[in-house]
Amino acid sequence: MADHPRALDRQIGNGPDKMDKKILHKWIARTHKWVGLILGLQLLAWTAGGVVMTWMPIDEVRGRHNATEQEPVAMGTVGESLLPMSDLMALVGKPITRATYHTLLGKPVVQVSLMDGTTELWHAAEGKRLSPLSETLATDIAVADFAPEAAIVGVNYIEAPVLDFRGPFPAWQVTFSDAENTNIYVSATNGRVVARRTDRWRLFDFFWMLHIMDYDEREDINNPLLITTAGCALVFALSGFFLLFFRFYRRDFNFILGRRKREA
């Protein structure tokens, strides 16, 4: 009596279970190969970006290592009498929702928030409006903030995004001739230093752009391109982990089994 076909398949090691595993292995291997081909450059960018961004100290990226340590100046020590709030409101001529007093280059100033959502900066003693800041005042603020000795090579009024600054606007861009090509951005509205940009920051920003795949504003970490690519990378990783099982044999673990036998 002839052997049953299924029995014969089992005898020669070519049964349905083994065939199914081969098909599954082939399908996963093909998926892994094509997903890897598509994602290869992005995976390389993620890895390289991770190395660069973890290697660079974040304070140096933000330019804080070149910032002058400025001690806060108490309002009572500036030696000037502040305008009464009633006089300030009369000078502003618009409803004030908030007034914040501080010092700027050793002078008392007040930042007022108006009912229409705008902000103005006033000299708190002289009653002179300072915003939008003049080029001279913005330059003085940047020089006071920048510790190294370096000449100024350019001052520009910025109202739209540039390569290394994307707001808030308007602002003054003060460029120094130091080795790091530093740009200091001073808000034209409130006189504060809102950004310090160096070559380190630009390198970091480039890899950050590649990392989050936002090639325009470089801020959206939930953009569809990143989510889709991350999902595909997960498939790539899972398929690679599954294929790993087909690359191991019992003999690969002999050193472990042998150790256990000796310990027993």
Asked whether residue 88 is domain-assigned, the answer is yes
CA-based nearest residue to 73, from 34, 42, 101: 101
Q: Which pLDDT band holds residue 86 (cuts at 50, 70, 90)?
A: confident
Amino acid identity, position 185? Y
Asked whether residue 52 is domain-assigned, the answer is no
Asked whether residue 95 is domain-assigned, the answer is yes
The pLDDT mean for the chain works out to 81
- Which pLDDT score, from 0 to 100, does residue 79 have? 62
- The side-by-side arrangement of strands in the sheet containing 107-114 is 96-104, 107-114, 119-123
Q: What digits encode the pLDDT tens for the residues 31-50? A: 666 666 667 778 788 888 88
Asked whether residue 85 is domain-assigned, the answer is yes
Residue range(s) defining the domain that contains residue 113: 69-131
- Which pLDDT score, from 0 to 100, does residue 78 have? 64
CA-based nearest residue to 165, from 116, 202, 128: 202
Q: What digits encode the pLDDT tens for the residues 56-80? A: 999 999 999 999 887 666 666 666 6
38 φ/ψ sector (left φ>0, alpha ψ -120 to 50, else beta): alpha
Query: The domain spanning residue 116 has which CATH number?
Result: 3.10.450
Asked whether residue 73 is domain-assigned, the answer is yes
Asked whether residue 15 is domain-assigned, the answer is no
What whole-number distance in Å separates Cα of residue 114 and Cα of residue 88?
12
Asked whether residue 78 is domain-assigned, the answer is yes
Number of structural domains (the chain) is 1
C-beta of residue 194 within 8 angstroms of C-beta of residue 185: yes
pLDDT at 9 over 60: no
Asked whether residue 37 is domain-assigned, the answer is no
Coil, helix or strand at residue 28: helix
